[in-house]
Structures are given as structure tokens and as C-alpha cells.
């Protein structure tokens, strides 16, 4: 089933990576884009690139971990242009959190990747539910299918996002809202630029954005790519940990998502 074309879109984490690529993919005349990021220069640069494609781009520098600020921004955006699509994309990885010790890094990952998504999705539901229509996409990860050594907090945070989004889809179905979960593998970004290890099937951000956009247009419940990695993590989740732990521990040594 296809969903109505989205003209008013809000994207968090739009200053780089998948968020930036999605903003550019949706940018077109007649489209309003509400874009958030934490870096003023990068966020405005993406907004200007979207304007160059004919879109009305409205950047906002905001931290997704701040619940009150996020609720106010989303309510303001929806009042200006009733939102058709909200993409909860902002997140951090193990290697780019910027935190000091492991404990604080883990807390920051959960605060951003889970708390930030919650702070985006709940106000979006409040805005869309009275209208009985709207679409919400949660960006999880293939890493959320199975806990990965050296990426424990990241894997767990993305598993939480994946499971919450899948549950919300059924919970909100009767309201007319559509919820979709996106689980990408490695995609080019500032995050992957910092990685010093091989990343199998690394995908360009614009290609990933195209897959996501097509999947959302078709209202796919779960958008997972690339398919060989999807198959691999699915098999890992089915096999006994006694079999898979030794393989993962050896294979993931000195690697982070």
C-alpha cells in the first residue's frame, strides 16, 4: 500500500549522513523541510542545498535529548505546516560519541539513540493523531538484530528503537498513523569516516536515502538493507549463542559500529 505523498517533513540529525541525504532526496518545489542538527554551519548548509532544489527548508539547531525543546519545536513546525512525515534519525555511535569514559559513553548513546527518538516520536504522535493521518519513521540499524561485541550500548539502543517502532506500528494502526522502522548497514557519514576497520557493503548515503524513501512511500513496516547483511544478522539471531559468540568475539575485535 502506498501512502500519500509527503509535502511537510521533519528530519532530525539532518546535518550529515543519512539525515542529510534524506533531506536532499525529499527537497523539491512545494516541499517544506524542518531540519535539525547540532552544528549551526552544517545544518544551515544542508538547508541551503535543499533551498537550491526548490524546497522551503527551515533549519533548527537543537539537541534531541532535550525533551521540552523537542516537543516545542515539533509543535511549532506542525502549527506552521501540518507534518506529513517525521523521520527520527539523530543518533551517535560508539566511536563518535565524544564522551570520555565507557560509562558516560554508554549513557550518552542511550540518551541520544533511545531518548532522542522518544523525544521526537511522542510529540509527532500528539501532532498527527487528531488528524488521523501521518507517517513516522524510526532509524534503527542492522546492529539492532543481535548484540555485537564492542558495540553493546549501540546495539542495544538500536534494538530498542527497532522493537518500539514495530510495536507502535500495530498500536497506532487504527488511528490512521503509519510507523516504519529503518535498519541500515554501514552508510557513508562522518561516523563511518572515523572508522579504521573494514566495513562490508558500505553504502553511499544518497543510495541509502533512495532505498528509505521508496520503502516509506510503499509503507514497508521494516526497511532493511543491504540484504546480505540482513540475512547474516537474521541467521545470527536464530543460532545458539554458544555457536555465535566465539565467531563474533573474534570477528568484532577492535571494531565498533
Question: Any idea where the domains of the chain sit in the sequence?
Answer: 8-251
**Per-position DSSP letters for 12-38, written without gaps between them:** SSTTSHHHHHHHHHH--TT-EEEEEES
Q: In the prediction, which pLDDT does 199 show?
A: 66
Question: Which has the closest alpha carbon to 222: 231, 208, 236, 212?
Answer: 212
Q: What is the pLDDT of residue 201?
A: 64
Q: Tens place of pLDDT for every residue, the chain, 257 residues?
A: 788 889 999 999 999 999 999 999 999 999 999 999 999 999 999 999 999 999 999 999 999 999 999 999 999 999 999 999 999 999 998 764 444 458 888 999 999 999 999 999 999 999 999 999 999 999 999 988 877 777 789 999 999 999 999 999 999 999 999 999 999 987 887 766 666 556 666 789 999 999 999 999 999 999 999 877 767 777 777 777 777 777 666 655 555 54
Catalytic residue among 154, 164, 186, 257: 154
> Residue 59 in 3-state DSSP?
strand
**Pairing verdict, β 177-184 and 8-11:** unpaired
The answer to whether residues 119 and 45 touch, using CB atoms and an 8 Å cutoff, is no
The three three-digit cell numbers of residue 186, written as one number: 554501514
**Res 227: pLDDT:** 73
What pLDDT score does 192 carry?
60
Q: Is the dihedral of CA 79, 72, 215, 207 positive or negative?
A: positive
Q: Is 26 among the catalytic positions?
A: no
Q: How far is CA 151 from CA 135, 143, 226, in A?
A: 30, 9, 20
Stated pTM of the model: 0.89
CATH level 3 topology of 8-251: Rossmann fold (3.40.50)
Amino acid at each position: 500500500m502506498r501512502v500519500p505523498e509527503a509535502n511537510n517533513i521533519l528530519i532530525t540529525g539532518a546535518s550529515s549522513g543519512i539525515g542529510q541525504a534524506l533531506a536532499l532526496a525529499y527537497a523539491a518545489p512545494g516541499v517544506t523541510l524542518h531540519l535539525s542538527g547540532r552544528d549551526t554551519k552544517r545544518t544551515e548548509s544542508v538547508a541551503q542545498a535543499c533551498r537550491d532544489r526548490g524546497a522551503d527548508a527551515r533549519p533548527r539547531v537543537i539537541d534531541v535529548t532535550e525533551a521540552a525543546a523537542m516537543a516545542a519545536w515539533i509543535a511549532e513546525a506542525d502549527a506552521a505546516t501540518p507534518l506529513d512525515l517525521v523521520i527520527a534519525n539523530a543518533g551517535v555511535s560508539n566511536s563518535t560519541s565524544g564522551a570520555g569514559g565507557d560509562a558516560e559513553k554508554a549513557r550518552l548513546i542511550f540518551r541520544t539513540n533511545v531518548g532522542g527518538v522518544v523525544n521526537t516520536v511522542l510529540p509527532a504522535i500528539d501532532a498527527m493523531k487528531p488528524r488521523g493521518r501521518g507517517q513516522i519513521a524510526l532509524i534503527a540499524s542492522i546492529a539492532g538484530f543481535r548484540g555485537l561485541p564492542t558495540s553493546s550500548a549501540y546495539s542495544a539502543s538500536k534494538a530498542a528503537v527497532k522493537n518500539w517502532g514495530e510495536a507502535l506500528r500495530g498500536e497506532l494502526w487504527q488511528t490512521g498513523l503509519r510507523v516504519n522502522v529503518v535498519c541500515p548497514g554501514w552508510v557513508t557519514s562522518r561516523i563511518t569516516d572515523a572508522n579504521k576497520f573494514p566495513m562490508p557493503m558500505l553504502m553511499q548515503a544518497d543510495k541509502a536515502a533512495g532505498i528509505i524513501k521508496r520503502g516509506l512511500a510503499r509503507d514497508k513496516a521494516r526497511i532493511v538493507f543491504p540484504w546480505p547483511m540482513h540475512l547474516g544478522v537474521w541467521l545470527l539471531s536464530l543460532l545458539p549463542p554458544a555457536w555465535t559468540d566465539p565467531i563474533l568475539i573474534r570477528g568484532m575485535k577492535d571494531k565498533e559500529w
